[in-house]
Structures are given as structure tokens and as C-alpha cells.
Structure 1
Amino acid sequence: MSSILHLKFFLEKHGFHVSSRLADKLGMRANSVRLFFIYISFVTVGLGFGVYLILAFWLRLKDLIRAKRTSVFDL
């Protein structure tokens, strides 16, 4: 359990200051940088889901347009 706490403290000390250091370099507030990362994460998740829906609609439309015929006499 001690190693897990050690890892947690290490990540908190070195990992969570990324947005504040980036904000200092860009001359912005850290809150704005954090909000930007949150918005970008929602956009990327939504973009993947949107592409999935478009492809599903496209395949369904293709199946509706091109009917499957099982024999020559279905013409």
C-alpha cells in the first residue's frame, strides 16, 4: 500500500502541474488551460461517436438502395 501512495504523491507532484506550467509559458490562467483540455476531450469523444453514426447510416442506406437478389428470376 505504501508503494501505491508513493506513486500517487509522485504523480500529484509532477503530473498535475502541467497545466499551470503551460499556462505560465503561454501567459494565460491555469483555469483556462484546464477548461481547454476538458473541452478537447469531449470533442474527440463526440467526434468518434459522430463518425460511427455516419458510417452506420451510410451502410444502412447502401443496403436499402442496393437490394440483394438471391436468384436470376427476382429481376
Structure 2
Amino acid sequence: MFQRIITYFEQQSFGVSTYLANRLNMSTAKVRLFFIYSSFLAVGFPILFYFLAAVVLDIRTYMKRMRLRIWE
């Protein structure tokens, strides 16, 4: 049951934690814990950063897809 919940959230997430973990050569779990703990300490500011980063990453992947379609 718990494993299904974890896989659901990993599939539905925006990929911000995974992207940052890969760029910083860290564990994805550590990045997620950082966002959770810092959101409690900073009264939600990291949540705003997370959503902005999700929008930026989504735009980047959209632009990459469009660029590939143009050259095909």
C-alpha cells in the first residue's frame, strides 16, 4: 500500500526534485526532504520556488519538443 502511494506521487510529480538531484549529484530523497523541511521553516516560500521551477522545466521540455518537430 505504502509503495503504491510513493510510486503514484513520483509519477505525478513535476520532476523538479529529480532534476535538481541529478544536477547536484545528490539523492532525490534528500532534495525532497530539503523542500519539505524548508517549507516549514520559511512559511511556504520553497513551495512557490518548486512550482516556478516546475513551470520552467515544463516550458523547457515543451520548447525542446517543438524544436525537434521543426527539424523533422
Quickly name the TM-score band, shorter chain normalised: 0.3 to 0.5
Q: Which has the larger radius of gyration?
A: 1
Q: Which has the higher relative contact order, 1 or 2, with Cα contacts under 8 A spaced 6 or more apart?
A: 2
Q: TM-score, normalised by structure 1?
A: 0.41
